[in-house]
Structure 1
Amino acid sequence: MAKRISMIDLFAGCGGMTAGFVAAKGYKPVMAVEWDLHAAATYAANFGESHMRWGDIADVKDRDIPEEVDVIIGGPPCQGFSNLGAKDVNDPRNKLWKEYIRFVRHARPKVFVIENVDRFMKSAEFALLQDEVREGGLLEGYTLSHGHLLAADFGAPQRRKRTIVIGSRIGKIPMPTPTHGQGNPMGLQSWRTVRHAFGNKGLLDKPETTVLPSSKIEVFGQSVPGVFKSEDLHIGRMPTELSLQRYAVIPPGGGRFNLPDNLLPKCWRNKPTGTTDVMGRMRWDEPSLTIRTEFYKPEKGQYLHPQWEEGPDGYRVDRPITHREAALLQTFPDSFLWCGTKIQIAKQIGNAVPPVLAEAIAKHIKPFISAAQ
């Protein structure tokens, strides 16, 4: 039997990245760290409470960090890398990056994987990360590969672009290559779509409720809402009559520019360009745009349900997507469990790494790690 690949998940959130690595088979989480109570509770509900450290990452003592783990994964915030090393290490903006580096230096993983926003590769923080793997740097001995990965290119029904950095001390590991592509690409599977995500899960009609079930659990000695199953997340909102009138005139792929003048709010009437995706409606047979933390607000992006037929008798579903639908577009499995309020769970969903993207990365780096064990 192959040796299990030990891993630490930092800034773990609700566990989207861990979910992907676990799905790739052969990985064993030995520690996770997350400061947000409800996200940590969701992680614990799915992967166990014993190895989840809820709290400030700086409070984890060096002696408590597992030694010689195989992989560290996580996405520290973009800001704050600018004063590492010999510079002002006490700069508070620095703390989270400094902590990530501390874990890498102490646990000495064979590989670390960083996920961040697409603009990260153009940041001063990224340039300084590259400096730290050079001779004398805090990450000397590691080599970096980096690039933009589009979640749709790896099986997610979502055009979510992120920077991925793979650090390795067992030889340079190239970036993974896409498994999916737009249209009918040569040798690749076609992009998965909103239709693939929603499937026949009965998600067309208006949700029966606007609230989560009333239940609480105790985790880390605290009481939090939960645990909720996937179907519990199919919850709606109570839009105003004006909002419903706006939704009704927006076709698939459309947005605020489809609104007639009498339905335009003043702020949009006075802004004739930009923010093209707001009040947008998804298309059934394309991936969604990026699912962010306020996907339940159509004025924040292309979050209207894709069902819309022309004509006065056309069948339309005039509502934003539900939490469950957002989780499906993020590729969380139906078996995933959730903790928190509606807003807290929405943040967990929108901030997560799509598990299928994480799974693709995990499968890609696995042979390199196994060969070095």
Structure 2
Amino acid sequence: MNSPGTQAHHLDDVRILDLFAGPGGLDVAAHFLGFKSIGIEWDRNACETRYAAGLPTIHADVSVMRKTRFDEIPKSVDVLAGGPPCQSFSVAGNGAGRRALDTVKEFIHRLVNGDKEDEAKIDEDLRALGDSRTALVLEPLRWLIKAIETKDRDPYKVIVLEQVPAVLPLWEVYAKLLRGGEGRLEGIKYEAECWELKTEQFGVPQTRTRAVLVARLPEHGAIEPLEATHLPFDLHRGKRNVAQADMLPTDSTIPGAKPHWISMAEALDAASKEKDSPVDVSRLRTGGKMKFFVVSNYGSGGDPKNRGRRKSSEPAFTVTGKISRNKVYKSITEYEADQSDRFTIPESGVLQTFPHNFPWSGKDQAQQVGNAVPPRVGMHVLGMALRGNAPSDEELAAASTWPSVSGATTDELRRLGCGDQSQCPPESHKVTRSRRESAP
């Protein structure tokens, strides 16, 4: 396994291109599976986390990179991966993408069946949807078409995409077109499958549903669905009476059944025991035992009194960029007095299955954590897509700790990613001066 960042100036062996790379969920997964990746990310803060972690990164807009800097992507890249921003499709977002699903499906067909001249018109029509982020769900397809239509490039051998469940119908259109090999795909056919998966069924200590697409060139074999490693969490447990709950089968009553999901307490306790761990859960213990409950930041139906609760013995709510607003209480007395605690950034990262010592950097760290792909899910998806099997127990165990990265490597990666800053997203390096600093 390569140490992250050791080949900042020599990217010939990079295999995975991570679009919309964020702080590095898929890249962390790739590292622990032994694959090298490079990410494109427009947010400067996420880039700072990536540089600190030793992850090769280009600080750029994905669409600008495709149009004007495509030749900077190493030719060794044969895997296209990424999770386009989900805000316009997410239930927690503004819903512009969800409302425009049928329209976006038409754009997908237009991209494949049209020509280069049509793209300007497609861009114009996309802008009329009212949320520029909706258009980003088309970028992976545009990157594939770009690779096919570039003379000295080969089509990507593998494509791995993930998004919120609302995007599954778009992934199904992707899959159908990838299997067909028509239009601008020029007879190149893929084996392609897409499905929903629940993260707690893969050892992530939170409930989070994702829509995943995996496509491979036929010579790499048929695509098998991922096999869950853990039982699902019952979201409706609170609506059953005690008698009904006692009748439900558990992992202890069914021989050979999968283990139950990983709880917040289990994940945080394990992380706190790692050497030099920044995760300190002593404040969450009562009588030596980890026992607390979390009240969600989101009100049910807009009523704060109906906000959901999760016990420490259960998985967390979906970790979003607002996780720092969730309130943590050790007792009902604390709750009544509103004497709450909060999850720290390292703890939030652990609930996303990032290593306990992952070097979160820059600003808006809670947003970075919430935007990321859970690395453990990434390991399962990439493992199946690239080599046909799930991560081993040894690989999963190793993923609890991130290797140290020198300041020199971080500086090299920043130079690689930002250069003289002239090609970074506009205004992204602008420093806002205080009144005192700007006073004459």
TM-score, normalised relative to structure 1: 0.69
Match of 1:56 in 2: 61
Query: 1:118: Cα distance to partner?
Result: 1.1
Mapped contact 1:149–1:164 kept (Cα < 8 A): yes
Superposed, 1:188-337 pairs within 5 Å as: 188-199=258-269, 231=278, 252=293, 279-297=307-325, 303-305=326-328, 307-308=330-331, 318-337=340-359
Deviation larger for 98-107 or 113-122:
98-107
Give the aligned partner of residue 18 of structure 2: 9
Alpha-carbon distance between aligned partners in 2 of 1:356 and 1:231, rounded to the nearest angstrom: 20
Residue in structure 1 matched with residue 45 of structure 2 by the alignment: 38
- The answer (yes or no) to whether the contact 1:68–1:109 under 8 Å persists in 2 is no
The structure in which a higher percent of residues are helix is 2
Distance in 2 (CA, whole Å) between partners of 1:255 and 1:59 is 38
The 3 A distance-change label for structure 1 pair 172 and 202 is: closer
Specify the SS of the correspondent of 2:324. Answer: coil
Gap change, CA 1:278 and 1:162, over 3 Å in 2: farther
Greater strand content = 1
Q: 1:114 to 1:255 in 2, by over 3 A?
A: closer
CA deviation map 1:20-56 (0-9, x unaligned)? 12112x2111x211111111221122134xx411011
- Deviation string, structure 1 residues 323-356 (Cα, Å, up to 9, x no partner): 2221111111122111222xx1111100111111
Against the structure 1 CA distance between its residues 89 and 97, is the aligned structure 2 distance closer, same or farther, given a 3 Å change threshold?
A: farther
Cα distance in 2 for partners of 1:293, 1:40 equals 16
- Structure 1 pair 313/65, CA: closer, same or farther in 2 (3 Å)? closer
Structure 1 residues 164 and 127, CA gap change in structure 2 (3 angstroms):
closer
Q: Residue 197 of structure 2: SS of its match in structure 1?
A: strand
Unaligned stretches of 5+ residues in structure 1: 204-228, 237-250, 258-267, 298-302
Segment drifting more, 316-325 vs 106-115: 316-325
Instruction: Give the number of equivalent residue pairs.
Output: 300
Q: 1:112 aligns with which of 151, 159, 177?
A: 159
Give the match for residue 165 of structure 1.
213
1: CA distance between counterparts of 2:335 and 2:321? 33
Q: 1:233 to 1:145 in 2, by over 3 A?
A: farther
Identity, in percent, stands at: 26
Task: Verify the 8 A CA contact 2:329 2:335 in the aligned structure 1.
Answer: no
What is the CA distance between 1:312 and its match in structure 2?
A: 8.6
Deviation (angstroms), 1:364: 2.0
Q: Which whole-Å CA distance do the structure 1 matches of 2:317 and 2:138 have between them?
A: 32
Among 89, 99, 109, the residue aligned to 2:139? 99
Change (3 A) 1:315 1:113: same
Q: Against the structure 1 CA distance between its residues 201 and 19, is the aligned structure 2 distance closer, same or farther, given a 3 Å change threshold?
A: closer
Other-structure match for 2:175: 130
Structure-1 separation of matches of 2:26 and 2:280: 20
Equivalent residue, structure 2, for 1:145: 193
**Aligned residue for 2:131?**
none
Indicate how the Cα distance of structure 1 residues 337 and 253 shifts in structure 2: closer, same or farther if over 3 A, else same.
closer
Distance 2:305 2:79 in 1: 37
The answer to whether the Cα contact below 8 Å between 2:296 and 2:308 also exists between their aligned partners in 1 is yes
